[in-house]
Every structure is written in structure tokens, then in C-alpha cells.
Amino acid sequence: MTHFAELAGLESVLGHLFVRPELLVQALTHRSLAFEQAMEATGKPDDGARADNERLEFLGDAVLGLVVAEALFASNSKWQEGELTRMRAQLVSRQHMAEVAQQICLGDYLRLGKGEERSGGRKKAALLANSMEAVIAAVFLEGGLEAVRSFARKYILGSAADDLARELRSGASLGDHKSALQEHLQSSHMGVPVYTVESESGPDHRKRFRVELRLRSADGETGMPIGSGTGSTKKKAEQEAARRALARMMVQRAELVPDEAEVASSAPNVIVEGGDAAARTKSAGKRLVKA
């Protein structure tokens, strides 16, 4: 990318028109290209003035953490430190930042070395996440915190924060579906989860794994699959399988257990023959809830 005008589309999404477009160019420059340029210019891998985005990435990470923490603190007055920390960790995670980068097509603007380009660098999650942080730093250096806040409200917080808040209120372990499933299985004595890689596909730099999840009972018997998931790593595929299995269990649980209000309204209609009617009605209500 040699013309600053080519960055206009990205500047529009970021909501900031750069006075120093070279700052944004640096934020988009991967070390692979900086290395190649340094070798061509000086014959050395580092001429002492690297023009890649790693320093900006460092600053962007700190700015991102501050802006997200500030937004969560202001909008969730009843949350304590632990809840705020868990929410922030998810919103500033590499996975979420890569998703934000993909949403704004950041990969199209990256400046990569030849080798990184050939290996699919524009779609690598870690590379996208790091570059997103560098771009946030560039926006901060020119537009200040308010410019970063504006971008964060639209792309980093937004619906993602709402979804995580609902998950937090449900009692699940944010983002860690395997732990949430493990806790549910232990409390309900349903068995031990067993994850099995069923298939692998794709080239080495873009692997896809498919994992199936089954439950093993106390007597060692393994049942039918209760969930499956795919991902770019085995861990991600396992998390997706756990997420789907837990979601299915929650739906089944909601269908089997009647609403407390419905139990309360139906309990007085229980036919009682002699004895303490009030006590028997209360006991019947408890049996219904337990069922």
C-alpha cells in the first residue's frame, strides 16, 4: 500500500480522519514487511528504527483495557470487581479483537511481508488482533480517548457486551464453556465429559478440527454424542462442543422444570382428603418443583 488515499475506507470505519496518515500506515505494518524493508535498505534485519506496529500494539493494549474498563464501570453499577474483571477480559481478548478486525475488514489493509502474505497472514486471528490494538493506539495518539471510545462503543462493546452480560447473569463461566459444563455435570451427577477429535481438515496454517462430546458414567460406559464443535484449534473446537451441549441441557431443563409461578398458582387446586390441607398443598408444590 503506497497511497494514503487507499486508507480512506478504513478511516471512515474508524471514525477518524488522520492528520498524520503515516501513523496509521505504521499501525498496519507487520514486522515481516519491516524486516524485508530493513534488509533491502541496509542489509541488516534491524536498522534501529523499525517501522512495524509492535510498539503501537503495546500502547493499544493499554488504551483498550482502560476504555473498556471505564465503559463497564459506568454502565454496570451493581457489578463487583470480579464480574467487571471477567467481562473486561472477554472484551479485550485476542479472540474478540480478531472478530472486530474481521468485522471492519482490517485484513484488507495490512502491510505484510511476502512470506506472511503467502501463508495467509491477512486471516490469522493473532495477527489481526495485534494489528487491531496497534490501530487503536494510532487513533488514540491523534484523536485521544474520545475517538477510541466512539469506536469501542460501536465495534468492541455494543452487542458483544450485551451478550456477555446475559451470560454472566445466567451464572455461566464467561467464555469458558468447558468449565461451565463441568460445574453443571458435577452438580447434577450426569457423568464426566469426554472430548474426542473426530476429524481434521485444511492445510497446516488453516487447520479445522471437529470434536465430539460424550458423557462417561460412573461405571465407565460412554454414551452417545451430546454435542459437537469445530474450530481452528482443538481447544476452540472443544469449547464450541461444550457450549452447544450446555445450551441444549439448559433448554431441556427449562422444559422439564415448571415455572415457580405456575406451581404456586396450581398448588391450591390439589385435592386434599383430610389432614392439614395447607401443609399438604405446600408439600405438593415442593414435589412439583423438585420434579
Query: Is 5 exposed, middle or buried, given 0-12, 13-18 or 19+ CB atoms closer than 10 A?
Result: exposed
From 142-146, 219-223, 256-260, the region with the lowest mean pLDDT:
256-260
Residue 47 a catalytic site member: no
CATH number of 4-169: 1.10.1520.10
266 backbone dihedrals φ, ψ, rounded to 5°: -90, -20
Of 52, 57, 116, 133, which is the active-site residue?
A: 133
Domain ranges in the chain are: 4-169, 177-256, 260-290
Residue 61 a catalytic site member: yes
Q: What is the per-residue pLDDT across 62-119, written as a single tens digit (0 to 9) for each? A: 999 999 999 999 988 888 887 788 888 888 888 889 999 999 999 999 999 888 888 8
From 41-50, 199-208, 243-252, the region with the lowest mean pLDDT:
41-50
Of 57, 61, 116, 212, which is the active-site residue?
A: 61
Residue 291 banded pLDDT, cuts 50, 70, 90 = very low
Q: What is the pLDDT of residue 65?
A: 95
Topology (CATH level 3) of domain 177-256:
Double Stranded RNA Binding Domain (3.30.160)
pLDDT at 261 over 70: no
Residue among 202, 199, 209 nearest 233 (CA): 209
Query: Is 225 exposed, middle or buried, given 0-12, 13-18 or 19+ CB atoms closer than 10 A?
Result: middle
Residue of 130 and 203 predicted with greater confidence: 130
4-169 and 177-256 have identical folds = no
Q: What is the per-residue pLDDT across 152-186, written as a single tens digit (0 to 9) for each? A: 999 999 887 787 777 666 655 556 678 778 877 88
